[in-house]
Structure 1
């Protein structure tokens, strides 16, 4: 097997987060569900975008957030995701490349426009999110470079993107390319609602030995296994997947890898500001340890350090220097 070019290559939703302050009166006037997340169509997305004040735009999406954390730690990464040939598509591409992540997916010329999450931040700090998935749901299998996928130690797949048919086919092709090259396949379950729609697919991938590393939180674990007892569900899944990593919010994280068990507590922080992206950054820290053959507990601790940084501020991208945090904590 040739030496990998990348530590991790990921496939996920290519979304631009557009964040702007607002007043409570704006939330009411626009008919938004304060503090919630609503999926919106093209027309509604444009209406809300036009209604926003001066905004901060930064590329987002679950798998892209994970890569941002990995790149900040010093890993070499590449991202595959679909944007349109428009302004926000340029924002996404610039942002992710500026973070040191290779991004070569061709833009899509047709409608719909680039995905965006329009986030209204009210005076009390609550984030009201309106997500338009747009072009991200139309990633074709033909956009993949099998040789590029085969050149990464780990292929990381975002469960959210399993929902639309076109990228689901792309991810199946990517799994085949990675496995034929002897690389590892990591999968994040993303959300219990994704499992409710595609749990049979996920269970089939696991039964067929297609997944090497599985990320979940405790609610997703229960949804996938149908087992309410946390430890029993973890053991059941670990019998089928070589490495299982499950987060439990303030109760830390557990992993079982080839029969080895590890648990770490959550890293202490002064105040939880925003939990958006916590799971994404936990995966970043863990994978960074994994590709460097760190002990299982240390990989979990790396995940916990990254998750603690992300929940200490608004937004799903690191603001502090993750390498410095790791050095301070682990030496």
Structure 2
């Protein structure tokens, strides 16, 4: 079984569904409201565990009720939470607005995630025993760099999702093996809107890139092979929240199982397509048999 460590965020998603998102200064009436466990780190951990990985989570939840629910949700999906710490104070939250087309906009309040500034006792050893380390940018960047550096020291594949898009600390891309931005994040990192040209630019900093393109699929680029695109399965999206994290978690499992990269990307795309057909983030992520059947 593929061993995956996720160093990342946990949030309680406060999800409001609306016919359309409000414009600045406008009030609209929503259709419904739900609380859904999420956070990019927790989402990737749950996605990878449901896809068949042996997953451990490093991060922090708050000492509030949300923290208890977040920990329980991870454990229920088979994620090891021994190194998911409890910090005094509130857990992170994300305010999510989902429109009738399934598109979302999100505001994140870090909460307990902001206390994770570096690796703690036992965490480098956990990373050293993994096949892959999954990272995002919802923790302090010092912790992300610390984790990536530890993975590099031990020859562990580092997969970085550069979201939310922001300036990166010097050296982070130098210790990243696979970068998985969406097209907007790729443009923010490079200043180049065209995904193919952005991928070329990113290959000067990392050896391998997968740019996710939503309903258009994904683009793979590597220093060792020509770029190629992988289409997404045609589906009707209900809620795109968590789709990128589902893709990345499933991709990490596929790579750990040594699937050829094109096959791994098709398999990850099938997982993401299943996710967007259901409401919610962590609650919408598919299990291994579903992914195998869809791919």
| TM-score normalised by structure 2 residue count | 0.85
Cα displacement (A) at 1:252: 1.2
Identify the residue that residue 164 of structure 2 maps to in structure 1.
191
State the 1:304 CA deviation: 1.0
**Structural mapping, 1:88-103, within 5 Å:** 88-103=66-81
Aligned equivalent of 1:222: 187
Residues 1:12 and 2:11 aligned together: no
Name structure 1 gaps, 5 residues minimum: 37-52, 162-166
What is the CA-CA distance between 1:242 and the residue it aligns to?
2.1
Distance 1:148 1:219, change over 3 A: same
Q: How far apart are 1:244 and its partner, in Å? A: 0.6
Query: Which residue is equivalent to 1:43?
Result: none
Distance of aligned partners of 1:13 and 1:327 in 2 relative to their CA distance in 1, 3 Å threshold: closer
CA distance in 1 between counterparts of 2:135 and 2:162 reads 9
Distance between the aligned counterparts of 1:157 and 1:284, measured in 2? 11
**Structure 1 equivalent of residue 63 of structure 2:** 85
Give the corresponding residue for 2:44. Answer: 66
Match of 2:118 in 1: 141
Cα distance in 2 for residues equivalent to 1:227 and 1:15 = 31
- The residue aligned with 1:314 is 279
Per the TM alignment, residue 57 of structure 1 is displaced from its structure 2 partner at its CA by 3.8
Q: CA separation in 1, counterparts of 2:105 and 2:160? A: 28
Q: Is the 1:278–1:307 Cα contact (8 Å) retained in structure 2?
A: yes
Structure-to-structure mapping, 1:23-172, within 5 angstroms: 56-103=34-81, 104-109=83-88, 111=89, 113-118=90-95, 131-141=108-118, 143=120, 145-161=123-139, 167-172=140-145
Distance 1:80 1:210 in 2: 19
Deviations 1:243-267 (Å, cap 9, x if unpaired)?
Answer: 2100112221111234223321111
Matching of residue 262 in structure 1 with residue 228 in structure 2 = yes
Instruction: Give the 3 Å change call, closer, same or farther, for CA 232–124 of structure 1 in structure 2.
Output: closer
CA gap of 1:22–1:258, structure 2 versus 1, over 3 A, is closer
1:173-188 maps to which residues of 2 (within 5 A)?
Answer: 173-188=146-161
Helix, strand or coil: the match of 1:186?
strand
Q: Tell me which of 268, 274, 277 is aligned to 1:303.
A: 268
Instruction: Give the 3 Å change call, closer, same or farther, for CA 235–312 of structure 1 in structure 2.
Output: same
**1:227 shift after superposition:** 2.6
Structure 2 gap segments, 5+ residues each = none
Select the structure of larger CA radius of gyration.
Answer: 1
Partner residue in 1 for 2:292: 327
Conserved 8 A contact 2:137-2:144:
no
Is the helix fraction higher in 1 or 2?
1
C-alpha distance in structure 2 between counterparts of 1:252 and 1:160, whole Å: 24
TM-score, scaled to structure 1:
0.76
Cα offset, 1:6, TM superposition: 6.0
